[in-house]
Amino acid sequence: MSKPSVISIPEVKSLKMTMNAMSYKTLVAFLLSQLEGEKLAVEEDDYLRFKAQVIAILKQNAHEPKMVIEARKLALTIHRFSRSVTDETTRYPYRMLGHSVATIHVRTHAFGYIYYALRYVQATQPNKLKEAVELYCHTIAQFGGNLYA
């Protein structure tokens, strides 16, 4: 039996709509808070290098998207690399990074961070998926997102 898509969860649909309505500056602040506080069990050198690059470019573009071409190139590099990763639970964190930096060129990519984070939870700790969804709802609300508007 296949796993249901995380996007079919009503709260996740609401998260996507809410994030799509949030300002660029707020989305970048959210992504930086998540990446800097991230506790994923990925210690691969490539991941750590990409993560440092993503955090640096997000900080440089925190108030407005200035380095769009550089961000897009980095996002494409990370996504291309993620396709070479055979283990899906290791691939998801790379996809999270790629979508985070892609937010600089298209802000709706910010939701991709949450989408792949939830896919990661679903693959590694399926019994904690509901808790993870609730945590993201709470976190987005802290950043000013109105989930039920």
For 77-124, the pLDDT digits (tens) are 999 999 999 998 899 999 999 999 999 999 999 999 999 999 999 999
Tell me if the pTM is above 0.75.
Answer: yes
**DSSP-derived secondary structure for 83-124:** HT---HHHHHHHHHHHHHHHTTT-GGGHHHHHHHHHHHHHHH
Say which residues have a Cβ less than 8 Å from residue 98's Cβ, sequence separation at least 6.
75, 76, 78, 79, 82, 112
Q: How confident is the model at residue 147 (pLDDT cuts 50, 70, 90)?
A: low
Structural contact between residues 82 and 95, judged by C-beta atoms closer than 8 angstroms: yes
Residue with tokens 């994923």: 40
What is the Cα–Cα distance from 57 to 144, expressed in whole angstroms?
23
- Reported for 29-33, long-range contacts at CB under 8 A and 24+ positions apart, including other chains, are 29/62, 29/143, 30/110, 30/139, 30/140, 30/143, 31/58, 31/100, 31/103, 31/110, 31/113, 32/58, 32/59, 32/62, 33/139
Helix, strand, or coil (residue 79): helix
For 3-60, the pLDDT digits (tens) are 668 888 999 999 999 999 999 999 999 999 999 988 777 878 999 999 999 999 999 9
Nearest to 100 by CA among 58, 39, 141: 58
Q: How confident is the model at residue 146 (pLDDT cuts 50, 70, 90)?
A: low
For 59-76, the pLDDT digits (tens) are 999 999 999 999 999 999
